Amino acid sequence: MIHKITIPLYHEEVAPRFDLATEVLIILLSKGNIIEEKKTIVLPRPSADDLCHLLLAETINTLICGAIEEEYYQFLKWKKIDIYDSIAGKWSTAFSRWEKNKLNPGDLLSERTIEGTYV
């Protein structure tokens, strides 16, 4: 079975807002979560409507994103897309956690130092 994941990007991070993303990563996985293809698509302008259209045209199964307006969230859920929203941090960390079934909506994945201790 083929599974497609999309992550709106801002450089190496998950884009903070779905509606402002101009670049998206699409990862195509085959059985056993083997990466068959990774491609980046640059959108001509930020547009939640265009991004939703892209998700449907590409038959995306899973969306990992930052903040997303309720209207778009409900529409994509209605279209049977699994959504992990309010994710902050590197896209690679989010994807890795998704692969291990450890990604949850609202996860803050940024690395930080607190009083000299790496967290």
Q: What's residue 33's pLDDT?
A: 85
- The CATH architecture that domain 3-118 belongs to is 2-Layer Sandwich (3.30)
Q: What's residue 119's pLDDT?
A: 54
Positions of the chain with pLDDT under 70: 111-119
User: HSE-up of 38 (CA within 13 Å, CB side)?
Assistant: 8
Q: What's residue 58's pLDDT?
A: 95
Within the chain, what is the greatest distance between any pair of CA atoms?
47
Q: What's residue 117's pLDDT?
A: 60
Tell if the pTM clears 0.95, that is, is over it.
no
